[in-house]
């Protein structure tokens, strides 16, 4: 329920802080006092778009904050999905900055307007003339019937099944489209794959082949240089190893004359060992290298094949060719097995279809079973609201298609007069009749599902006398299971409230300001008397007001 509302710097409101209780709360005030401003401010915390023109002082930001007690609303999953901190008393704040930007917060966490509006719809139902038009919409009519039929669990199961059906349906269509396109390309893809599989594709292969090609292509030069190196190492007179042998012998004689000579001798010994090892490896190279024209041609062919494939597929790296080969392999495999996949997906779709039809039939049976009782309750309640001849013709027609809420078409027809033809609500019901029908429907819904706080905005416009009393009784009865607000001009309705607030304007030399106050018992008598007889309070008006309250 709405526990507290704070509005600052909005329209004619400078600063307003007001707390609310459970039960039936009525709000009254003269025309133009600012009741619509109060609703406008409340609508901002429910996710409506902000307007910079609503700032009272254009240089200050507007802040609207509302506290809601939500322990009974089963909203923990909503908060979890939205990544919000859940609190039994949740605070929603909306700020409109002088720059025109707006910000929204739920329990001090910034949120988007989409998240805010979704939460707001589950906290307060603001019933205005615009919302009355929802009564003429098929979705709302189904909502009424399904609430009455206790179809909630079945609809959840149906919608989950429908989601799986739509997903499988799309997957099947994608497979069929893939098959149609892939069959045309299968031969070409197979050719490309075979070509790539025949190539020596591995990471670093081009650098490896290019190095091998350079060696084979320059074998004579390599042999000549290796021979020259071997001669420089092994010449008996001036060969590197001969000279190093002499140097090693000379310094071995000095090793015993001090650590510095011993250290130098060891370094010469290490250099000799390294040079001797190089000489051995050089000789191995000489023995292993031979001219091989056939291998040169083979390596050249592999390189040319790889160069051509890179150019053909627009690849700059071998890794790209490997990926292209893998992708082609997947396509060829999928095309070869797509018939099998289509058969399996078709079978799955048939099973989902059967399950959906079964669930839809159960929903239809429950709907049909309650229509007579729903019709009776609607007509009985409307009779007490001055519409004794009101009659409904409600029926279901089965369809072959899966709709978001089943496999039914709903005909929801109405007539207010005996002997008149039934017609669509939006065509045959007046605005006043729609308001009374909506009030009756909301009162029925309140018995079958946990509705949020509801605020009726002058739903009693155009009625008076006993009908207004009965409308007030219905709202009072609803307040036994939910928090109910009624913005009203009728003293008969205002007298039935558990709590009575008055919206009023005060004028100063500089500006007009809207405010709101909770009335005491004595103040309620005066307010009702003024609603009955005008500003000039008469004894009869005061007596009538006391009678209404009693």
Instruction: List pLDDT tens digits, range 480-490.
Output: 999 999 999 89
DSSP string, 302-351: HHHHHHHHHHHHT-SSHHHHHHHHHHHHHHHHHHHHHHHHHHHHHHHHHH
Q: CA 95 → CA 6, 46, 48, 65, 424, distances in Å? A: 12, 12, 12, 9, 42
User: What pLDDT shows up at residue 107?
Assistant: 95
User: Can you tell me the mean pLDDT for 167-191?
Assistant: 82
Residue 241: how many other CB atoms lie within 10 Å: 17
Q: Is the pLDDT of residue 468 over 70?
A: yes
| Band of residue 81 on the pLDDT scale cut at 50, 70, 90 | very high
Top mean-pLDDT range of 263-277, 323-337, 346-360: 346-360
pTM score of the predicted model: 0.68
Inside any domain, residue 60? yes
Residue 111's SS3 state is: strand
How many Å is the Cα radius of gyration of the chain? 44
Whole-number pLDDT of residue 370: 95
Query: What pLDDT, on the 0 to 100 scale, is given for residue 34?
Result: 78
Whole-number mean pLDDT of the chain?
A: 87
What residues make up the domain containing 470?
1-123+452-519
Whether pLDDT at 382 is above 90: yes
* Cα 380–chain centre separation: 42
Give the model's confidence band at 189: pLDDT under 50 very low, under 70 low, under 90 confident, else very high: confident
3 within domain boundaries: yes
Q: Is the pLDDT of residue 155 over 80?
A: yes
Nearest to 483 by CA among 521, 446, 436, 513: 446
Determine, yes or no, domain membership for 65: yes
Where helices occur in 397-537 by DSSP H, the ranges are 425-428, 431-448, 465-478, 491-494, 521-533
What is residue 84's predicted lDDT score, i.e. its pLDDT? 93
pLDDT at 422: 93
Tokens of 435: 């308001």
**DSSP one-letter string for 10-33:** ETTEEEEEEE--SSEEEEE--TTS
pLDDT tens-place string over residues 286-305: 777 777 788 888 888 888 88
Is 26's pLDDT higher than 90? yes
- What own/partner pairs with CB < 8 Å and gap ≥ 24 does 472-481 have? 472/496, 474/381, 474/385, 474/439, 474/440, 474/443, 475/24, 475/439, 475/443, 476/24, 477/443, 478/24, 478/442, 478/443, 478/446, 478/454, 479/22, 479/23, 479/24, 481/446, 481/447
Within-domain flag for 110? yes
For residue 546, is it within any domain? no
Per-residue model confidence as pLDDT tens digits over 122-149: 899 888 766 677 788 889 899 999 999 9
- Dist CA 262 CA 244 (whole Å): 16
Q: In what order do the strands lie in the sheet with 423-424?
A: 391-403, 406-415, 423-424
Q: What is the CATH number of the domain that holds 88?
A: 3.40.50.300
pLDDT classification of 154: cutoffs 50, 70, 90: very high
Residue 23 lies in a domain: yes
Confidence of residue 48 (pLDDT cuts 50, 70, 90): confident
Q: What is the pLDDT of residue 99?
A: 87
Name the more confident of 251 and 439: 439
Domain count across the chain: 1
77 located within any domain: yes
What's the rounded Cα separation, in Å, for the pair 334 and 336? 5
Residue 361's closest CA among 136, 102, 157? 157
Of 20-24, 228-232, 431-435, which gets the smallest average pLDDT? Answer: 228-232
Residue 329 lies in a domain: no
């Amino acid at each position: 329920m709405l526990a507290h509302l704070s509005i600052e710097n909005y329209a004619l409101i400078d600063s307003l802080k007001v707390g609310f209780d459970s039960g039936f709360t009525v709000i009254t005030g003269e025309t133009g006092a600012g009741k619509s401003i109060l609703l406008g401010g409340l609508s901002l915390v429910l996710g409506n778009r902000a307007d910079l023109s609503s700032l009272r002082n254009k240089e200050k930001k507007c802040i609207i904050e509302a506290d809601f007690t939500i322990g009974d609303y089963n909203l923990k999953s909503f908060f979890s999905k939205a990544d919000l901190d859940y609190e039994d008393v949740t605070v929603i704040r909306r700020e409109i900055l002088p720059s025109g930007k707006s910000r929204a917060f739920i329990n001090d966490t910034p949120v988007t307007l989409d998240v805010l509006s979704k939460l707001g719809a589950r906290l307060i139902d603001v019933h205005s003339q615009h919302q009355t038009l929802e009564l003429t919409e098929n979705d709302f009519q189904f909502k009424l019937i399904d609430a009455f039929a206790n179809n909630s669990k079945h609809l959840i199961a149906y919608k989950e099944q429908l989601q799986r059906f739509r997903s499988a349906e799309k997957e099947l269509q994608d497979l069929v489209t893939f098959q149609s396109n892939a069959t045309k390309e299968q031969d070409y893809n197979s050719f490309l794959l075979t070509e790539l599989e025949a190539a020596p594709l591995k990471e670093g292969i081009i650098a490896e082949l290019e190095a091998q090609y350079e060696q084979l292509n320059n074998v004579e030069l390599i042999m000549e240089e290796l021979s020259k190196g071997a001669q420089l190492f092994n010449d008996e007179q001036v060969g590197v190893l001969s000279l190093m042998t002499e140097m090693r012998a000379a310094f071995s004689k000095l090793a015993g004359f001090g650590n510095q000579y011993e250290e130098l001798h060891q370094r010469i010994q290490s250099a000799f060992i390294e040079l001797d090892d190089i000489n051995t490896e050089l000789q191995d190279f000489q023995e292993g290298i031979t001219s091989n024209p056939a291998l040169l041609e083979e390596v050249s062919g592999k390189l040319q094949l790889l160069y051509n494939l890179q150019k053909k597929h627009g690849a700059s790296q071998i890794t790209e060719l490997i990926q292209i080969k893998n992708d082609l392999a997947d396509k060829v495999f999928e095309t070869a097995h797509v018939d099998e996949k289509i058969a399996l997906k078709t079978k799955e779709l048939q099973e989902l279809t059967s399950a959906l039809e079964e669930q839809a039939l159960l929903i239809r049976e429950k709907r049909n079973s309650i229509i007579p009782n729903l019709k009776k309750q609607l007509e009985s309640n409307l009779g007490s609201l001055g519409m004794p001849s009101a009659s409904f013709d409600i029926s279901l027609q089965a369809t072959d298609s899966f709709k978001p809420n089943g496999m039914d078409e709903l005909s929801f027809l109405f007539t207010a007069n005996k002997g008149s033809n039934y017609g669509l609500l939006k065509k045959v019901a007046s605005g006043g009749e729609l308001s009374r029908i909506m009030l009756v429907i909301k009162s029925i819904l309140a018995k079958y599902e946990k509705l949020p706080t509801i605020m009726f905005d002058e739903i009693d416009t155009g009625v008076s006398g006993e009908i207004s009393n009965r409308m007030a009784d219905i709202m009072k009865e609803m307040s036994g299971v939910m928090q109910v607000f009624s913005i009203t001009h009728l003293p008969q309705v205002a007298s039935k409230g558990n709590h009575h607030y008055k919206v009023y304007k005060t004028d100063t030399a500089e500006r007009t300001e809207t405010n709101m106050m909770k009335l005491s018992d004595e103040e309620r008598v005066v307010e009702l008397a003024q609603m009955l007889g005008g500003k000039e309070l008469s004894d009869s008006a005061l007596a009538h007001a006391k009678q209404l309250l009693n």
